[in-house]
Amino acid sequence: MSPRVDAIRKAFPALRRQHNGHPVAYFDGPGGTQVPQIVVDRMGDYLLHHNANTHWVYPTSIETDDALLAARRAAALFLNCDPAEVAFGANMTTMTFHLARGIGRALDSGHNIVITELDHHANVAPWQAIARDRGIELRVARMIPHTGLLDIDHLASLIDGHTGLVAVGAASNALGTVNPVRTIADLAHQNGALVFVDAVHYAPHFLPDVRDLDCDFLACSAYKFYGPHVGILYGRRKTLSSVDIPKLEPAPDDVPERVETGTLNHEGIIGTHAAIDFLASIGAEAGQATSRASLEASFAFLHSEATALTGRLWKGLRELDSVSVFGPSPDLQRTPTVACTVHGLTSDEVCRQLADEGIFASNGDFYAQTVVERLGVEGLVRIGCACYTTGEEVDRVVDGVRRLANGRR
């Protein structure tokens, strides 16, 4: 274990947990990562000493306004956008349904929407709903089952001058596939379509850059990158200002508040700021403030570590005769999330038995239901590496799967 990974691990109290006499190895990060102490401390400090509602003139309300603005600026650094282009909400799914309703008001039966088979259904169901409500044609781009990649040629064939929106995931939460979002955005914009990007699984592993991706909207969730359960939505300022989003009449109509319905999760937003600061600290010099440069350095280090772990995990699982491994190979750009099945066992049985050994991995379809259907399996065992994962833990999970594949506990 490198000294830097050892220092990262010390920030996470959850890593001290034992189960059945085994230290817990958390491979469930794609469903939600563990949280460093700094996030909990900042949230607690806010609740205990600054808790108030917003936009009033007394001290704790002013302190809350200041803290939320600071968090918005931190999220803007994280996404490489203007703070006025960052909205907060309950989670990506809720925010996407809300946004989709507003976008749908500008579309009619002469339009189509393009989605993909590779996506989490949070980036499918909202567009299905407005297509149904507005009589819009829904077009679905194919996934290539044996590679886990999106069929870009098929997707391109679906986009035309009547396409109102293309919704695509930056990375598959089930298989770890990373999609060529900029290429897709260029195709969409050439035909006058908007682009919505689900970056929930992408953001923990690749520093988002909405300018480089050239998307109109991008959503992610802080609890996937070491923060609390808060959703983040980027919207290109001009576009976000014009979408007919449902809102209360007295509520602000300026961006980004026009997107944020009701009272927000203030402590969660402040915890999100802390999570971004934590990520920036991984690559920063001692005492260096959070900046785009410190975030880039952190993600460069994390990507290097993740690449090594993914190769080790992929190789170990692929060597097992009774195990099938799905998704892109490690030589392609991908996240450190590997999906597999063990012949003769359900994904539930595999993960339950791994849990007995202190290995926490997730099972099922992970709301990427279409992916599982296209692969023709009952469910997947999903093994996801995070910033605190070690090579020794990867060896533990491979050994655990090997024993199950050989019929031993």
Give 92-141 pLDDT, tens digit per residue.
999 999 999 999 999 999 999 999 999 999 999 999 999 999 999 999 99
Question: CA-CA distance, 382 to 246, in Å (whole number)?
Answer: 37
The CATH H-level superfamily of 3-35+292-405 is: Aspartate Aminotransferase, domain 1 (3.90.1150.10)
pLDDT of residue 409: 53
Structure tokens at 265: 């999760």
Q: How many CA atoms lie within 13 A of 269 on its CB side?
A: 26
- Which pTM does this prediction carry? 0.97
Q: What is the pLDDT of residue 284?
A: 83
| Number of residues assigned to the chain | 409
CA distance 214 to 304: 25
Amino acid symbol at 164: G
Alpha-carbon gap, residue 264 to 75, rounded angstroms: 15
DSSP string, 21-48: TEE-EE-BGGG-----HHHHHHHHHHHH
pLDDT computed for residue 233 by the predictor: 98
Rounded Cα–Cα distance for residues 61 and 263 (Å): 13
The Cα–Cα gap between 41 and 227 comes to 12
Note down pLDDT in tens along the chain; length 409 residues: 788 999 999 999 999 999 999 999 999 999 999 999 999 999 999 999 999 999 999 999 999 999 999 999 999 999 999 999 999 999 999 999 999 999 999 999 999 999 999 999 999 999 999 999 999 999 999 999 999 999 999 999 999 999 999 999 999 999 999 999 999 999 999 999 999 999 999 999 999 999 999 999 999 999 999 999 999 999 999 999 999 999 998 988 999 999 999 999 999 999 999 999 999 999 888 778 899 999 999 999 999 999 999 999 999 999 999 999 999 999 999 999 999 999 999 999 999 999 999 999 999 999 999 999 999 999 999 999 999 999 999 999 999 999 999 986 5
- Identical fold between 3-35+292-405 and 41-277: no
The pLDDT of residue 408? 60
User: Is there a contact between 15 and 34 (Cβ–Cβ < 8 Å)?
Assistant: yes
Measuring CA to CA, how many Å separate 404 from each of 19, 20, 365, 397? 19, 18, 21, 11
C-alpha 108/C-alpha 48 separation (Å) is 49
Per-residue model confidence (pLDDT) at position 159: 98
- Sign (positive or negative) of CA dihedral 316, 319, 321, 323: positive
What does 190-211 look like in DSSP terms, one character per residue? Answer: HTT-EEEEE-TTTTTTS---HH
Contact 335, 171 (CB under 8 A): yes
Fold of 41-277: Aspartate Aminotransferase; domain 2 (3.40.640)
Kindly report, residue by residue over 138-190, the tens digit of the pLDDT.
Answer: 999 999 999 999 999 999 999 999 999 999 999 999 999 999 999 999 999 99
Q: Where are the domains of the chain?
A: 3-35+292-405, 41-277
- Cα three-residue angle 165-168-173, rounded to 5 degrees: 155
CA torsion angle 82 84 85 89 (round to 10): 130
Determine the Cα–Cα distance for residues 292 and 300; give it in Å rounded to an integer.
12
Q: What is the CA radius of gyration of the chain?
A: 21
> Which of these, 392, 376, 44, 99, lies nearest to 234 by C-alpha position?
99
